[in-house]
Amino acid sequence: RLAAPICWALALFAVVCHAAAMVWPLRWLPRVQLALVLLELFFAAAGGVEPRPAPEITVELLRSATANGGGSAASTRPTKMMLDASGIKFEPRALSLKGQRTCVPRWDEVEITNVGDKPITLEGVSSDHSMFHPSLIKAGTLQRLESTQIQILFLTQAVGTFEGLILVYTNMGAIPYTVKATTGDNPYKVEPIVGAKVVVGERFNPAISVYNPHDANLHVREVFTTEGFLHLSLPDKPVDAGAGRQQIGSRGGTDAATASVWTIQPRQQKTIIHLSFTSHVTGKFRGFVHLKTDKEDLLVPVEVMVTKGGVHVTPEIVDFQTLVSPAQSRSMWLTLTNLNPQPIELLSLYDPKQDQNLQISGFDQKGINVVPGATVRFAKVTYHGGDQGFMQGKLQLIINDTDAVSATLDIPYKARVLYGSLGFMNDKTKFQSTPGRVTSTMRSIMISNNFSVPILIHTARIDDPSFQISHFTPNSLLQPGDAVSLMHVEFTSNGTSALYTRDLELSTNVTAMKIPLQVYHGKLHCQVEHGDFKECSASDLSLEMGTISVGESRRKNLNITNLNPVNVTLESIAFTHSSVSLFMEGVWNPQGEQVRGPRPVPRSLQSKRVLTLPPGHRLALAVEVQASEAGTVGASVTINTRRKESILLAVRYESVLGSLSFLPAKLRFEASFPGRIQSRVIAARSTFERPLVINAVRSSDPRIIPELITRSLNPLARTEIAHIRYDPSKSAAPEDGSLPQSDEVEWDIPLTEEMVERWSRRQQMWDELGTKGQTDIEAILSFDTSIVRGASLTVRAFLTKPSIVRESTLTFDLTQVGTSVSQMLLVHNPSDTSLAVQLVFPLCEASPSELNNSCDVGFRLAEEAQAAFYVKPHSDLHIGPIVFEPKQHNTYNTTLYVRNNLTMLHPVRLSGVGGSGRLVFRDGALDFNLTASDLGGGLALDDDFAPKQRVAVAKSFTALNDCELPVEVKSFDINGVPGCSGFGFEIHDCKPFTVAPHESVELQVSFTPNFAASRWEQRLRLHTRSGVLAVPLRAFVPPELLPQLADRSPFVGEGEDSARKVITAISVGLCAVMLIVVVGDIMKVYRGTSEAGGCRDGSAGVSMLTWPSINALAPATWGAGVRREQQVLGQQRASRRERRDDQEAQQGHRHEVDHEAQQPLQQRPGQPRQPLAAAPSVGPGPG
């Protein structure tokens, strides 16, 4: 009855301690928690109370790692290292975990013992890797020979090999301890939930599925989490919104619904739980979900990053680390995640600083669309070693956001360029492993600092238990130029024949360095013909020569290679039979180059050093036998080395009377490649007494293909027996490196980086074939006859790399900027079949929708050049055109690939230079500065109508072409007015001309002012092939000369001045004539008036338009108006005359009037003409 209350009280106390541990990082709290949990388990066992699940201990210890002195790489503890760590012993010396599976926790303990003379105080532990979680069981002081333990929890989230350092902090400094682990997938297919990114307020609902790999049903007993931010629910139930520890299922059993969900049939996978996560604050949340099954317990890490939404680029800071040479570069990919609710488009990525050592590739300049929630890898940035120092800047990514601030994302980058190296003595890094003996070899590793800054070496390690490091002081400091013995390395061989390399890894404040430690056995490797390549002393080197006729000779080849890092000397060669000889065909270096030629090996050697074979070199030997009599012969050749190795070659053959010879004796094919087949015919002659029947023919190489023509050979007759074809496309065994095939061509798709890398690997395979000597093919055709078995014919053939382009570089001459030139590429088909080719640029230089654009602006393919072309066998074809369009003064270089069905790809280097011609005037303008002498020195004529000299100033100007291309001037204009003159300026000798590079031309320009001013300015425009060159035309007159210019200069020309004088004279003459006519008419009017004697009414006005001379010249409108006026005046006069007539009638003068009325009306000479509508005058007077 008391057990349960006590248990619950202790559990409550444990919760309080746990909360205290999170507030006060005291070292004793984790031990109290562990003790309380153990007490709880004890009481539960005694009282029947359900114990607390064991996996929660894992969570508590993970949480209390920081409080217990543990931590991760982010720990803020000082990293002062213990100078002498020999007083601390770790058992095991290094922890190596193998066969671990993801999501399965594993605990291991490491014992720490104080073997020194002084007490050591242990303060805590930390890890530099997030998958290793250390916890110190007992912190405090360790007396001599006293021990304690470190508990290390390894929980991996990925598959691979991991290595980290556990730092044990003491009062004398930190001690590193190496831990390594190798992991694989767990059989339950449970994966960690890590790397998720959600927006604030967004619900994240991942599911956890379990696969049953067993033959029986798998039962999930319990699922729980202790994290308050994680909520669990069954697949068919709503999410539990509770907080704190959530548990579904129990140790005792489950309900029916849970049992149905958590029973998994064999070889089936089922979703057993759903997680729910929502957060209203940003940050990174980490937790665990525990799965307890009846087979194994699993621990699922959960890691969620909560952000405010928007666009996120990773890495946030592009750190290129340290580059130690100009040839070194480091590349990183940029990844973008769109957490916006709408899609975005990436428009451009550039470096505002234009750092010449920073290169951006893989970014599609056409724009990249990113849908909501998607993550894309959009660019690759590479930094090359340049000037030394700390380099930093920022890349700017432009997206299609209406907000100018949000549309620009800054991506900081940094790099450190520090030239130098850490040197070491090469002879101190080689260790011999003697077969059959366990030996130990100690080497002192001398390190020299060739950097210009001090180097701090933090740690040193070797991933091999056969090596042990001693006398190493962590955090050793090397000043520039120092050379010190940094450590001792001891190698212990296990008595086997070992040949391998291990790296001594040094971690420094500048860079990580690897020193290769080479283990060797000193033995040579042999290969008979095309047999296996293995150790000579462990191989059965039997040379079966077959059956030969008496007097016939036969050879077999033997390759001996030194794979050791040291020289191996051949000391002696011995023969046991006189019919056996040895010939040296040559020595080849690791690059496949022959360094020594062929020569025979003498049978009796006076020197004890036949040949010294350097590391990586290959010796080609030929063993020859010549039968002198019939019979079976067994012989041997023994080659001894200075390193006590004996190579035994067993030679055996059988000789008979008679022979079978082939014509030619050796068949040789020219160098060929896959796609070109050669054929030869061979003949044979038999000296045996009876006919021979060829039963079979075999080839030692599948590329040499024999086809029998006949099977019967008559004695002493020459008979053609077979066609021999050489087809390089028939590759040898896959293990020999497999010749690059050319049938994997993908047409009309972008040329991706992966395709180029695949082609590069195939080119590397070609190079490796040459290094291994496999480009020289020597095949043996073996003929089995009714008498002789194994009659052999040697066939030599060669592999060569096909080339389909005559010239690997296409160079464009200096080209005018803004113009374009084109060239055709000559393609040659060396094969026996049609060759299909297509020109294409790599994808990093174009968008997926446009295959043929170049990154280096300036090169492109014409539309007709983008199609596939077909070249007939053994013929040439020009394809293209390839267009070069420079946009600026620069050197352009890029690589164009010829995609084809023979070599897959063929690179062509394109190079061109953009330039231009430019006319430069000395002062930048064409200036005229008028002086008094230009205006005639003040001399002027008084007569205004006298001819004056025109004011004109001529001047010669020099224009220099200071660029690389000629300048062709086609036409001129002045301020947009076509022609060679205008606005007072005139260009003499105005016609098109061309100025060669760095040559000059004279321009004769004159200026004639057409009005008085102190400044004239226009623009002379020269129209060239590359554009329009505008040059200011300016003229200046000092202010004091303006009056003289106004008086002196006839602002019209001499011809214009003469015309003006003529017009003026004519105008004056016309005015004089008109004046004379007017005066004459006035005199006539005056005389006519005088003769009338006052008969006319003086009040009547006289209009000048009534004068005959004037009226004749006046317009008709004027005459009509005057006539209307005179008609009105005539009516008035007629009325007055009628009144006078009435008066006269009364006076009795009717007879006079009647007499006057009968007189015809006559106009006197000189009298003005009266209007037709006017009444005749009846007044007295003559006429």
Phi (first) and psi of residue 844, to 5 degrees: -60, -15
Which range is least confidently modeled, 21-25, 418-422, 953-957? Answer: 21-25
Q: What is the mean pLDDT of residues 545-566?
A: 84
Query: What does the block give as tokens for 324?
Result: 């130690």
The whole-angstrom separation of Cα 92 and Cα 73 is: 23
Query: What would the pLDDT profile of 227-252 be if each residue is shown by its tens digit?
Result: 888 888 887 665 444 444 566 664 44
Which range is least confidently modeled, 60-64, 200-204, 334-338, 613-617? Answer: 60-64
Confidence of residue 1107 (pLDDT cuts 50, 70, 90): very low
Which range is least confidently modeled, 447-451, 672-676, 680-684, 765-769? Answer: 765-769
pLDDT score of 494: 80
In the predicted model, is pLDDT for residue 1037 greater than 70? yes
The whole-angstrom separation of Cα 227 and Cα 223 is: 13
Query: What would the pLDDT profile of 1084-1094 be if each residue is shown by its tens digit?
Result: 888 876 655 54
Diameter over CA atoms, the chain: 197
Average pLDDT of the chain, as a whole number: 77
Higher pLDDT, 675 or 666: 666
pLDDT score of 75: 39
Higher pLDDT, 1171 or 1023: 1023
The whole-angstrom separation of Cα 878 and Cα 827 is: 6
Confidence of residue 299 (pLDDT cuts 50, 70, 90): confident
In the predicted model, is pLDDT for residue 734 greater than 80? no
- Cβ atoms of residues 1107 and 1168 within 8 Å: yes
- Give the residue from 888, 826, 830, 827 showing the smallest Cα distance to 856: 888
Q: What is the mean pLDDT of residues 483-490?
A: 90
pLDDT score of 1102: 45
Confidence of residue 1124 (pLDDT cuts 50, 70, 90): very low
In the predicted model, is pLDDT for residue 68 greater than 90? no
Q: What is the mean pLDDT of residues 1000-1020?
A: 84
Q: What is the mean pLDDT of residues 95-122?
A: 86
- Cβ atoms of residues 247 and 222 within 8 Å: yes
Query: What would the pLDDT profile of 348-368 be if each residue is shown by its tens digit?
Result: 999 998 888 999 998 887 788
CA distances from 126 to 76, 156, 949 (A): 10, 17, 104
Q: What is the mean pLDDT of residues 1057-1078?
A: 85
Higher pLDDT, 689 or 1122: 689
Query: What does the block give as tokens for 1013?
Result: 């001013």
- Cβ atoms of residues 506 and 460 within 8 Å: yes
The whole-angstrom separation of Cα 850 and Cα 842 is: 11
Confidence of residue 73 (pLDDT cuts 50, 70, 90): very low
Cis peptide before 315 (omega within 30 of 0): yes
In the predicted model, is pLDDT for residue 260 greater than 80? no
pLDDT score of 546: 76
% of the chain at pLDDT higher than 90 = 10
Higher pLDDT, 446 or 32: 446
pLDDT score of 237: 61
- Cβ atoms of residues 730 and 705 within 8 Å: yes
In the predicted model, is pLDDT for residue 58 greater than 50? no
Q: What is the mean pLDDT of residues 967-971?
A: 86
Q: What is the mean pLDDT of residues 201-223?
A: 88
In the predicted model, is pLDDT for residue 190 greater than 80? yes
Confidence of residue 434 (pLDDT cuts 50, 70, 90): confident
The whole-angstrom separation of Cα 518 and Cα 426 is: 10
pLDDT score of 599: 84
pLDDT score of 381: 94
Phi (first) and psi of residue 835, to 5 degrees: -110, 125
In the predicted model, is pLDDT for residue 938 greater than 50? no
In the predicted model, is pLDDT for residue 430 greater than 80? yes
Q: What is the mean pLDDT of residues 1107-1136?
A: 47
pLDDT score of 76: 39
Query: What would the pLDDT profile of 599-633 be if each residue is shown by its tens digit?
Result: 888 776 555 667 889 999 999 999 988 888 878 88
Question: Using only C-alpha atoms, what is the Rg of the chain?
Answer: 56
Helix (H, G, I), strand (E, B) or coil at 40: helix
Q: What is the mean pLDDT of residues 183-212?
A: 85
Torsion, Cα 1079 1081 1083 1089, to 10 degrees, reads -150
Query: What would the pLDDT profile of 818-857 be if each residue is shown by its tens digit?
Result: 788 899 999 999 888 888 999 988 875 444 444 444 455 6
- Give the residue from 75, 55, 53, 195 showing the smallest Cα distance to 129: 75
Kind plus residue range of the DSSP H or E element containing 754:
helix 753-771
Kind plus residue range of the DSSP H or E element containing 136:
strand 132-136
